[in-house]
Structure 1
Amino acid sequence: MNPVSEIPGLLQGLSFFRQLTHAEINLLAPLCTVREGQAGERLIEQNDQVRDLFFLLSGEADVIKKGPGGKPCVLASLNKGTVLGEMSFFDQGVASATVKTRTPFRALIIQQTALQKLLDMHPALGYKIVTKIAELISLRLRKTSNLRSEHA
């Protein structure tokens, strides 16, 4: 199967998109690309502009932040199904950390500006995706708050 024809199935296989109809998946699929790579690749670089949403289809990656003196600190380990770049969807800010792969990987990538245009044209689809991004950010903030309170 070639990557373009497999994209609708890949989208349906991600829990992030489970609430979408087949018609909505078909609207979204042309915006997607699949990237394959090796261990050690940087999907996102700290302090760089993030222009894409990444969905890790396979493989593992680490979230790494440079601490005082530039020493790297691993903040989290990621695996299949993880969404990356979601915060920049709202604020167009720079990445707060680097995401570096630990193993060979496959990722589904959606360019944010193309996605925003699609969502403007299809408000019901936009509502579903923006709500899912907000849920994801809320969950991550809650986890971070719990970690901080455990270490206080």
Structure 2
Amino acid sequence: MSAAHKVELSQFLKHQHLCESLTMQEINTLLEYVTHAHFSKNEVIADIGTLGEALYFVVKGEVALIYEAPTGDQQEVGRMVEGEVMGEMSFFDRRPRSARLVAKSEDTQVLVLTRARYKRLRVEHPYIAVNLLEHVIISLDHLFRRVSQDYTEFSSYLYGRGK
């Protein structure tokens, strides 16, 4: 990663929830543990059934979460945008991914934190790792709330309000 690109990414991260309590030095340290990846529109970032060996943080673009039914039918179940983390469920529970992560913008960019680098980060810079974990918890909370709201709205539609 070039010095200019690292400065650009650190400026982006400075304004994200993930890094709101980190110093610029800590943000630059975090950047030493991640790689920057580019994906074309409709390119698969991570596939269903694979083990989550990395966390992804969206820097630019949008990523669709695609569920595939046993019949082969696919349905988009969510979108992740700039500043959001994805892949956290499989990363932490070490179970196969239940959704496909697909780039939905021409130049989707993500930061990738592998399991091996996360383990090093946890030992070498625990404060940064704790901030990352808090961000993951908030991300899962937002996902749960969105799903709960969608379920409630669907149930109200299907069964009527107040029943």
Aligned to 2:138: 135
1:15/1:81 contact within 8 Å kept: yes
Deviation, structure 1 residue 72: 0.5
In the other structure, the counterpart of 2:153 is 150
Gaps of 5+ in 2: 156-163
Name 2:80's counterpart in structure 1: 78
SS of the counterpart of 2:71?
helix
DSSP 3-state at the match of 1:110: strand
What is the aligned counterpart of 1:42 among 35, 41, 44?
A: 44
Corresponding residue for residue 159 of structure 2: none
Partner of 2:158: none
> Does the CA contact (< 8 Å) of 1:34 and 1:106 recur in 2?
yes
Give the direction of change, closer, same or farther, for the CA distance of 1:47–1:29 in structure 2 (3 Å limit): same
Partner of 1:125 in structure 2? 128
Aligned pair partner of 1:116 in 119, 122, 134:
119
**Which residue number corresponds to residue 90 of structure 1?**
92
Residues 115-151 of structure 1, C-alpha deviations (whole Å, 9 max, x = no match):
2221123333332221221121122112212221222
Structure label with greater radius of gyration: 2
Once superposed, what is the RMSD of the aligned Cα atoms? 2.0
In structure 1, which of residues 17, 21, 33 is the aligned counterpart of residue 23 of structure 2? 21
More displaced stretch, 67-76 vs 11-20: 11-20
Cα deviations by residue, 1:24-73 (Å, 9 ceiling, x for unpaired):
21321111211122112101101111211111211222111112411111
Structure 2 length normalisation: TM-score? 0.81
Give the aligned length. Answer: 152
Kept after mapping to 1: 8 A contact 2:30/2:128 = no
Q: Give every structure 1 segment of 4 or more consecutive aligned residues whose post-TM-superposition deviation is greater than 3 Å.
A: 1-7
Does the 8 Å CA contact 1:35/1:107 hold for their aligned counterparts? yes
